[in-house]
Amino acid sequence: MPQQKQVNNGSPVGLDVGTSRIVTAHRVDDQFQYQTQLNAFVNLPYSKMTENVLAKENVPHSIQGSGIVVHGNESERFADLLSVETRRPMSRGVLNPDEPQSLTQIQKIIQSLIGPAKSKGQKLYFSVPAASPGAEDSITYHEASLRQIMTEFGYDVHSINEGLAVVYAELESSNYTGIGISCGGGLCNVCLAYLSVPVLSFSVNKGGDFIDTSAASATGDLINRIRITKEDSFHFNGYFADKTHQALSIYYEDMIQTLVASMKEAFLASRSLPKLSRPIPLVLSGGSTIPKGFRDRFEKALQASDFPIVLSEVRVASNPLESTAKGALVAALSEV
Amino acid sequence: MALRQRVREIEPNHYADWRAARISDPIEKLQYLHGAMTGRKSPVRRLFWRRLSLGAFVLITVSFLLPAPPAVSDASLVSHRQMFPETARKAPPQSFADVWLVEETDKEDVFSNGLRVDNRFSTPNQPRFYQVLDRKHGMTPSGDWHSQPVGIVYHTTESAIAPFDAQRNDALKRISKVTLDGLRDNRSYNFFIDRFGRVLRIVEETSAANHAGNSIWADETSAYLNLNSSFLGVAFEAQTGTDDFEPRINAAQVHAGRILTEMLRAKYKISSQNCVTHAQVSVNPSNMRIGYHTDWARGFPFAALGLDNNYNLPPASLSDFGFEYDGLFRRAIGPDFWKGIPLAEAQMAQDAAGKGSTYYAHKAALQDRYHRLYSALKLTGALEESNDATAKTSE
């Protein structure tokens, strides 16, 4: 697969730096355009022939010592071919502390997507997760590191809470009032916004990676292969004949129940919520919400929990993989 | 699971919510909300008695503030009005249905045309109290004050809308109720027509609802600035389409709108030409453009409500006060351009020619007249639109 052509046209940029994927959003001729790279890389043994093939195919890569690092979308394919795991610059929503190349590789992936700023002061908003229990320091380090990378690219860099970005992307019709949830690879980020102002935000330490890792542990498969199975064929409310799908179903349910319980706890505990004059919408986004039936399963769990806020609707974002980047772009455009 | 939440304390801001709902561009909406939510001021309400005490003062002040005769002379305007086609604004003979109050209880009013008005949510607000401008005498403010409505402004609530089907009945009822509560808190309209065609009284008819903001309308003899007091506000629970800018109401709402209009017209002898939509009357004094609010900029079912198509009437904001319109407004009204707009522009051109003035000089003089009148009448409190005015001056 050839490398995607950059669409950086000098206008503001929205960037979703997710555990699984990095997505950029630009506005071109009043249309939002997106580009995505897998936030992963894989090491290949060096050979001149491999290098030539990768160069010819425009596969993002770099030579490191005696090896070749393939990063972004193609890393998953190579990992599957070689039966190895991809390496991940991020874990649980932040830079992976166990990955020594995390900063180097994430820099390369971001560079392949947006390149340097086209003009001085070009605005860039990037998503950061809300803190999860005990992870406040890692958020600070994560945010500062990413800010530095993009500042070095010449951008005027700002961060935006991931859940709030979902609100900005999806809840214009309710005047940016409602609950935005991003169920990504590392975390589920939740934000309640009132008239665009984030009122309450938090993250839950379970996401797609939790499902993949747990299911892989139960079945003995590679995590990478579980992820591909999940994205290709998993759905809710069905009969699963194989162990992989059964395991995915169990751990998906675990993630949903944890998310709903955390939301109920958070909203009940908060005494500072504004008086809402009407039911508010809740929108789900992120790769983990894509399986067919996720919305229904989530809504059912929410109803069963006696959730304390009256909701007008529960829906999945129109483009779940892109809504965080879109929201970041909307925030950037609103500051121009 | 223990959670570390980030919680920010925040006060409800119903006005910002209401105002933002009328901004169609998502980026502009977000910009507006960022501004409104970071540095908003509480609206200030003047007491009713202060209006009274200011009234006499204003009558004196207005005479000093009215425009100098050479700019827009009364004589030339009067002579020109006679030149302008009679059909443009002249109301046809009015006939009113024979509608009477059959039964009146705290809970409900029943009228002879089948109208039932739910009174359970009725609330008072500031009493109606306003001056009118005499069109035939250079927009001189009337010496006497009025307390009866002379017109109706139709709105959309722009609130959340669920699919209208039986499966969503509970959600539909819940949304209507929550919308109603919000409208009542803000004293937004006199009447609310929900999606089941129920007519609910919000602000008492004797009180002004906060529905029209900065606005202008005129009939044959009088012009009205800021219509909260002079016009009743009727809101349909509906949302303007984001693609076609056209609100959709169902047959039950149309029927309710018809019999409510019939009752109000009969009760107050309201002429058909004074039954207009919010988009027709809304103005922005800070940039002198019409269409600050664009609800019912198109698609209002005048005929189905037993009214003439008032999109054909020249807006006095254009013809008498020199307001303009922009591309956004044209987009809102759509391909079926109001026939009243070219009529108003033609009238402006004729007025200018009759005075020996250029079109633009004449328009500037009319705008100046508006600002003088606006400043003068604001002193009465009759033009008090604190929320709208605050928003506009900050724009």
Helix-then-strand count for chain B, H and E: 12, 15
Tell me how far apart the alpha carbons of residues B328 and B284 are, in angstroms, rounded to a whole number: 13
Answer whether A62's CB lies under 8 Å from A69's CB.
yes
Q: Which residue of A has its CA nearest to B25?
A: A172
SS3 of chain A: helix, strand, coil, percent, to 5: 40, 25, 35
A vs B, Cβ pairs < 8 A, gives: 119
Answer whether A290's CB lies under 8 Å from B186's CB.
no
pLDDT tens over chain A, length 336 residues: 445 556 677 789 999 999 999 999 999 888 899 999 999 999 888 888 888 888 887 888 888 878 889 989 888 888 877 777 889 999 888 898 888 889 899 999 999 899 899 888 899 999 999 977 566 666 888 899 999 999 999 999 999 999 999 999 999 999 999 999 999 988 999 999 999 999 889 999 899 999 999 999 888 888 878 888 888 888 886 667 678 888 898 999 999 999 999 999 888 887 667 777 789 999 999 999 998 889 999 999 999 998 988 999 999 999 999 999 999 999 999 987
For residue B179, list chain A residues with Cβ-Cβ distance below 8 A: 278
For residue A272, list chain B residues with Cβ-Cβ distance below 8 A: 7-10
Answer whether A96's CB lies under 8 Å from A88's CB.
yes
Answer whether B115's CB lies under 8 Å from B108's CB.
no
Rounded alpha-carbon distances, angstroms, from residue A50 to A40, A42, A78, A218: 19, 14, 12, 35
- Which of A32, A195, A254 to probe the B interface (max B CBs under 10 A)? A195
3 state DSSP class of A246: helix
Q: Which residues contact B158 (CB under 8 A, 6 or more apart)?
A: B18, B21, B22, B238, B239, B240, B295
3 state DSSP class of B57: helix
3 state DSSP class of B289: strand
Q: Which residue of A has its CA nearest to B160?
A: A174
Cross-chain CB nearest to B7 (options A133, A200, A265): A200
H helical segments located in A19-161: 48-56, 73-82, 102-114, 136-152
Token look-up 């039966």 returns: A83
Task: Please enumerate residues of B whose Cβ is less than 8 A from a Cβ of A.
Answer: 1-14, 16-17, 20-21, 26-27, 29-31, 33-34, 36-37, 159-160, 162, 171, 174-175, 178-179, 181-182, 185, 242
Which residue from A172, A194, A168, A128 is spatially nearest to A332, judged by alpha carbons? A168
Looking only at the bridges linking them, the beta strands covering B140-141 and B133-134 are antiparallel
- Which of A32, A172, A271 to probe the B interface (max B CBs under 10 A)? A172
Rounded alpha-carbon distances, angstroms, from residue B366 to B1, B131, B156, B321, B382: 67, 20, 31, 5, 21
Which residue from A256, A131, A283, A316 is spatially nearest to A192, judged by alpha carbons? A283
Which residue from A293, A314, A301, A296 is spatially nearest to A236, judged by alpha carbons? A293
Answer whether B231's CB lies under 8 Å from B153's CB.
yes
For residue B194, list chain A residues with Cβ-Cβ distance below 8 A: none
Q: Which residues contact A172 (CB under 8 A, 6 or more apart)?
A: B26, B29, B30
pLDDT digits (tens, 9 = 90+) for B298-343: 999 999 999 999 999 999 999 999 999 888 888 888 877 788 998 8
Q: Convert A44-76 to b/e letters by CB count within 10 Å (16 or more is b).
A: beeeeebeeebeeeebbbeeeeeebbbbbbbbb
Report the 10 Å Cβ neighbour count for A97: 12
pTM, whole model, 2 decimals?
Answer: 0.53
**CA of A290 vs chain B CAs: smallest distance (Å):** 23
| One-letter identity of residue B198 | R
**ipTM score of the complex?**
0.86
Which residue from A95, A123, A120, A130 is spatially nearest to A109, judged by alpha carbons? A95
Tell me how far apart the alpha carbons of residues A48 and B363 are, in angstroms, rounded to a whole number: 77
